[in-house]
Structure 1
Amino acid sequence: MALAIFDLDETLIHGDCATLWSQQMGRLGWVDTEPFMKRNNELMAAYSKGELAMDVFMAFSLEPLAGRTPEEVAHLVGPWVEDVIEPIIFSEGCKAIAEHRKAGDRILVISASGTHLVKPIAERLGIDEVLGIELEVKNGVYTGQTTGTLTYREGKITRLLEWLDEQEENLEGASFYSDSRNDLPLLLKVDHPHAVNPDPVLREHAEKAGWPIHLWK
């Protein structure tokens, strides 16, 4: 059984779930929308350039969750996934997932977004296994902090290797689909890298390396 790994944001969905959730928190009244989104967009611009310090972004984006229970947040994330995320799921991504599943591959989503968003989105895609940034919970509420290794850049490899050990699996014959230069470390680690709607840096690398380039719309 080979592993088929998918990034989430701008790979399986046409957007960034953390940014879309930030907008939702504004609608919920959890944040002052204009200054919050200004800072969000500044940090995401750094991400696009491969310059983001992910711990800084997570501390910023999770602060509105501090003191809220996972159940409260999940209750609000569910309808948001249905209303906001489902319409922007790439149909070609669903087809790729189905093809891998038909081939008997094991499907995994690995994302640099928080698991409070990644897990319910993956569930809508029929995917149960997820690696994302874990949120710290103390005394039954979110602290606004993360825990463990962040699934970002080389951190995706660290977390994946830990998961492979736990699952008694390996990367032999594995595929990985991503849009971002930030995922080059993991793309270089698998047997079958795939560039999906790649950013300029990833596109250039994929063209030189002869990797498949998918333009999903």
Structure 2
Amino acid sequence: MRLTLFDLDHTLIPLDSDHAWGEFTVRLGWRDADEFRRANDGYYADYKAGTLDVHDYVRFATGAVRERGLPEGQRAHERFMAEVIRPAMTDAARALVRQHQAAGDTVLIVTATNAFVTRPIAQAFGVDHLIAIDLETDPSGQLTGAIVGVPSFREGKVARVEQWLADRGLRWSDLAHSTFYSDSMNDLPLLEKVDEPVATNPDERLATLAKERGWRILNLFE
């Protein structure tokens, strides 16, 4: 197996899907704008700084859907895809995914954003395999705000990919080649694990590191 892994936010799409979904719920009137944006922007700053408490953030990020209920949340997400995500998907990003698929690679999106937000985005890219933060549901099928299993965040991305491989009877050493595209220093553990790390639309810290280590740098959104 040749394995190609993509981060999602600011890698395949030029925005943070979780942050954008939060802003979309404000537009819908589901959240007080000033209060929500103050908290949401604070969490985003923590993410960029590598200090995010992912469990606390997921409880916050799922609050609107938990209050409204999953069916209404899913209907709103269809609008979110049409109005926010699909217009932001670039031809260059779509082509890169298709290039790896056409070469016979197994393609995964590996994201620290939750599966409610990201599964439809992965499907829009034509990617069947998604590793995202899995959300707990209660007996009635509604979200609880808790995370199931290991969060796919920082070192957790390595653990989740290793579990995905193990479920298929594979280990890293069984792979013919592995590639990972990411924009963020948060993904350094997985970037260091693969055969070919690609700093994609990298933040300043990752761009500096990539130059020091001779990693390929790709800018999809220029």
Query: Does TM-score exceed 0.5, indicating one fold?
Result: yes
**Worse-matched range after superposition: 56-65 or 146-155:** 56-65
Q: Unpaired runs of 5+ in structure 2?
A: none
What residue identity is the alignment partner of 1:152?
Answer: F
| Structure 1 counterpart of 2:105 | 105
Count of residue pairs brought into register by the alignment: 217
Q: 1:128 & 1:73 partners in 2: Cα distance? A: 22
Confirm or deny that 1:93 pairs with 2:57. no
| Structure 1 counterpart of 2:200 | 196
Q: Unpaired runs of 5+ in structure 1?
A: none
| Structure 2 counterpart of 1:147 | 148
TM-score (norm 2): 0.93
Instruction: Encode CA deviations 1:71-119: one digit per residue, 9 max, x unaligned.
Output: 3322221221121011112322212111111110011001000100110
Q: 1:91 & 1:211 partners in 2: Cα distance? A: 24
Q: 1:125 & 1:169 partners in 2: Cα distance? A: 25
Instruction: Encode CA deviations 1:19-40: one digit per residue, 9 max, x unaligned.
Output: 1100111122221121101110
Q: Counterparts in 2 of 1:30-45, with a 5 A limit?
A: 30-45=30-45
Q: CA deviation at 1:182?
A: 0.1
Q: 2:189 & 2:156 partners in 1: Cα distance? A: 9
| Structure 2 counterpart of 1:11 | 11
The percent identity for this pair of structures is 35
Q: CA deviation at 1:67?
A: 4.8
Q: Are the counterparts in 2 of residues 67 and 141 from structure 1 also a CA contact under 8 Å?
A: no
**Worse-matched range after superposition: 83-92 or 11-20:** 83-92
Q: Are the counterparts in 1 of residues 66 and 145 from structure 2 also a CA contact under 8 Å?
A: yes
The secondary structure found in structure 1 opposite 2:62 is helix
The secondary structure found in structure 2 opposite 1:104 is coil
What residue identity is the alignment partner of 2:82?
Answer: E
Q: CA deviation at 1:54?
A: 1.4
Q: CA deviation at 1:64?
A: 2.0
**Worse-matched range after superposition: 63-72 or 173-182:** 63-72
TM-score (norm 1): 0.95
